[in-house]
Amino acid sequence: MTDIELRDEGRVPEPAAAAAAPALLPGELRPHPTPVQYVVIALILVVLTSAEVSLYYLEGTIPNSAIIPLLLVFGALKFGLVAAWYMHLRTDKKIFARFFVLGIVAAVVLYLIVLSSLEVFS
Amino acid sequence: MATIQEAPPRPPPEPPTAHGGEPAHPPTSTGTTNVKLAIWLFIASDCLFFGAFISAYLLYRGRPQTGPKPQQVYSIPFTSVSSFVLLMSSLTMVLALAAIQRGDLRRLRIWLMATALLGSVFVGGQIYEFTNFAHKGLSLDTNLFGSTFFVLTGFHGAHVTVGIIWLLSLWGLATQGRLTQKDAEKVEIAGLYWHFVDVVWIVIFTLVYLIPPAK
């Protein structure tokens, strides 16, 4: 494996991260975002939430078949932004993201099977 | 005859330090601390916990039943403000973490308290919402909508309450000078829990409140 592949696996720190080691917390590969970046993410979250609420009030004006996918996309974007930036999955070791994805996928698969067995989708 | 004693071998150099002498990357097989690994495992398991209640809500959603229906009791403007408050508490939480990483303990205390207060506003709003629903005739045993809604949002509110107690404990430690820059990981762990509670609410707000029921 090359150094870059190992770095992507989270097994060796990046050179920049190693140089900035005194500021790193355990499990971090790169420094956390700056406070300004955190505020920018918060503003994006506010805009997405406003868009979601606006869509809710458009019910009846545009079909539900358009509203529901858009609401799901906006919700997924908000979820991803908080997980990546505020929970630091962008900058931490990949093992944490794998745990999180494992939990989400296990929950979705398990309950899709349960709901299917109860003929919810038929 | 004097003997020359050899100097003991020097210990190997310490790995880079995070804050004040603690090893930056602990010598575990995962390269991180067990407590951070544990909180992520807890979060993964809590996905299944909330997944069960969200599935139960979706299962019974829109089925014919007596008593108030979701659209008759929900107040979307009110819940939107609550969601906004919880989102902003995630911002103050990361600002608290950034403050302790910089060694700015005054701002750490301010942001921790701000996060706890915003969380309290959210829980207060949830209590008001539950009381309002009860006045409209919806309770835990009114119908399946009431049961699944109150269990799902009630457990979420309980998680937020635990988070508030955790944050206030950290604030108390910081006030006594027992939470310093080298304890940044303690704030990060509490932050991970808090953000998880926030992302769960993002899912609940979209799936439970905003998505219109099937006609």
> What is the full DSSP assignment across A80-122?
HHIIIIIS-TTTB-HHHHHHHHHHHHHHHHHHHHHHHHTTS--
Which H or E run includes B195? helix B184-204
Tally of CB atoms within 10 A around B41: 14
Residue B214 vs residue B44, higher pLDDT: B44
At residue A23, φ and ψ (nearest 5 deg) are -95, -5
Give this prediction's pTM. Answer: 0.84
Q: Cβ of B93 under 8 Å from any chain A Cβ?
A: yes
Q: B interface mutation test: which of A55, A59, A82, A85 has the most B CBs within 10 A?
A: A82
For residues B69 and B63, give the distance between their C-alpha atoms in angstroms, rounded to a whole number: 10
Residues of A in contact with B98 (CB under 8 A): 32, 34-35, 38
CB nearest to B98's CB, from A35, A45, A68: A35
Residue A32 vs residue B25, higher pLDDT: A32
CA distance A100 to chain B (A): 5
Please answer whether residues B198 and B87 qualify as being in contact, where contact means their C-beta atoms are separated by less than 8 angstroms: yes
CA distance A12 to chain B (A): 9
A27: left (phi over 0), alpha (psi -120 to 50) or beta: left
Tally of CB atoms within 10 A around B8: 6
Which ipTM value was assigned to this complex?
0.85
pLDDT greater than 70 at residue B52: yes
For residues A50 and B200, give the distance between their C-alpha atoms in angstroms, rounded to a whole number: 18
Torsion sign (Cα): B174, B180, B185, B191? positive
Residue-level pLDDT at B25: 55
How far is residue B132 CA from its own chain's centroid?
A: 26
- Mean pLDDT in consecutive groups of 10 residues from the start of chain A, 122 residues: 49 42 70 94 97 92 91 97 96 92 93 83 70
Q: Where are the alpha helices (DSSP H) in B61-183?
A: 70-73, 76-102, 105-135, 144-175
Which one, of B200, B47, B116, B191, lies nearest residue A85 by Cα? Answer: B191
Residues of A in contact with B152 (CB under 8 A): none
CA distance A71 to chain B (A): 7
Instruction: Tell me the percentage of chain B whose pLDDT exceeds 70.
Output: 87
CB contact under 8 A, B210 and A100: no
Tally of CB atoms within 10 A around B78: 13
